[in-house]
Structure 1
């Protein structure tokens, strides 16, 4: 993945003109971005490009970078229409939180994120932030996957410093652990308890078992977030991790760092990642408001029409494990009036 450049797609003048025309079309419809349907955003000229991107995501490296959309050309409303409209041509858009948001603005929201997005006091008197809250801080994010086939990030602005995307192939991590410690690899195919803390409203005390690695019909998948595992251990009655589980997690994190590489996103770049085979994280960042460098990314979660089958036990998180089925995202059944 590091050396190959096949996953980098430089959008041509014709591609950008097609996006301009689609934005102009949906502007005339005067439709809010979250109500856009695929037919509202005509992109026939990009059909082959997007089909190739879907293929690369599922059958290739698991990542695609689309470069470079001239974000300064559009108003905020137009840019969201463009990104969401493009998303409708890639897959099925998913809810990302209990508030029913289909596009998340990823930025540093400053103090109070724990109160707004989930935090608990630990026995030692510290504060444990939910994964959701950590995403909206300026801190580092550890390697993790999101609850969707593909996560898309459109860079609108970068920070004054930091905020670099870190990536690692979970399939390569699997193979490295198989070579070094096959006994620990077996542990990673066994269930780890995770907590829904910070995901669904009203499900703060819900924990579910799910392996970190899985296989079905020759297709690999990995669903991993250390924060969700740590959160489960804070819930009374949830079994504590065994020593073998802790050792396997330590090996996973060590190998992920060894095999990781960094991807810098410039304004106008779109990063698409297949969560089943790629872990992502980020370095901490510092905004510089005076220079206009305050980090802002738009995030989409996508269920893909060419997605892989998942092991049956993954239904507890994904709801449907069939290939190509709409799945993942945050179920709205937990919403309270």
Structure 2
């Protein structure tokens, strides 16, 4: 992997909204139709100019902001199987699809499970390079927003307010992920400097707290306090950005740079239930950052 310096932008929720043009790109209906036709054919043709525009935008946004939002990428009225196949083809430009659970599933559709949508999903990072979310149907009540936080901004803010807590978060932590996809044991700082000059992050709030119960090292009082500081900062309104996604919108998150979660929502059974297609990508040699 080649190393280079990235022009990273650490952002607050207000700054992310104000600079939307850096990370959010709406597609026209014609562009969407061209992409769909090539994806269904399984080869690039008339949509090649749109493809190149997307590649450039996604790369620049992922490097600077750590995420990319593409509006109107697919027609959500298409069958889920067709949408999944088409999206899998389009994502070949950005990495290799990898399993996202212990069963080896390469794709999954996130739905309310026994009312768990009523509970907010805390900030965390998935164990892949890029998290891909395609909105098939948003929550009818306007909830279920994807919540986003900049690791760089969180790092710098904690450094100013609680340098002792930041020093602890920059030490190695143990995440026991036994039975899940990918590495079973991850030992890493929660916030850390990366070779390309960016600030990296890795956080799974339940996994790090439960690792001692699975044989990992006990958390010290200092570590418990640092986790409390981190969670308090993440849930400040000026930190957490709630992104509403319309049906057909795509979101790509660089897990090493942006933490994500989900706000609570009320589900509507049947065809109007909230559905998000999730795919995990690991980047190739030429795209990795």
Q: Is the pair's TM-score, using the shorter chain for normalization, greater than 0.5?
A: yes
In the alignment, what sits opposite 1:265? 245
What's the CA shift for 1:264?
Answer: 0.5
SS of the residue 1:241 aligns to: coil
1:47 is aligned, of 46, 51, 74, to 51
C-alpha distance in structure 1 between counterparts of 2:198 and 2:110, whole Å? 31
**1:191–1:19 CA distance, 2 compared to 1 (3 A):** same
What's 2:164 paired with? Answer: 183
Give yes or no for contact 1:41–1:85 (8 Å, CA) kept in 2.
Answer: no
The equivalent residue for 2:232 is 254
Alignment RMSD (CA, Å): 2.2
Structure 2, unaligned runs of 5 or more: 1-15
TM-aligned CA deviation for residue 143 of structure 1: 0.4
Which residue of 76, 83, 102 maps to 2:80? 76
Structure of greater relative contact order (alpha carbons < 8 Å, 6+ residues apart): 2
For 1:295, the equivalent position in structure 2 comes to: 274
Partner of 1:99: 103
Number of equivalent positions: 266
Is the contact made by 2:76 and 2:137 (CA closer than 8 Å) also made in structure 1? no
Q: Does 1:281 align with 2:261?
A: yes
Alpha-carbon separation, structure 2, partners of 1:9 and 1:260: 21
Name which of 147, 152, 161 aligns with 2:132: 152
Deviation at 1:19, TM superposition (A): 1.6
- Quote how far apart the aligned CAs of 1:90 are: 2.0
Q: Is the CA contact 1:18–1:45 (under 8 Å) kept in the aligned structure 2?
A: no
Runs (5+) with no aligned partner, structure 1? 27-39, 112-133, 309-337
Output the TM-score relative to the length of structure 1.
Answer: 0.73
Q: Which residue of 2 aligns with 1:210?
A: 188
Give the structure 1 partner of residue 213 of structure 2: 234
Partner of 2:149: 168
Distance 2:33 2:186 in 1: 47
Q: Name the CA distance, whole Å, in 2 between partners of 1:79 and 1:223.
A: 30
Which of 190, 195, 202 is equivalent to 1:223?
202
1:20 aligns with 2:36: yes
How much does 1:105 deviate? 1.1
Deviation at 1:240, TM superposition (A): 1.5
Output the TM-score relative to the length of structure 2: 0.84
Query: Would you say the 8 A contact 2:74–2:248 is kept in 1?
Result: yes
SS in 2 for 1:71: coil
Query: Relative to structure 1, is the Cα distance of residues 58 and 200 closer, same or farther in structure 2, using a 3 angstrom cutoff?
Result: closer
Number of the residue aligned with 1:323: none
**Shift of the alpha carbon at 1:294?**
0.4
Q: Which residue of 2 aligns with 1:307?
A: 288
The equivalent of 1:30 in structure 2 is none
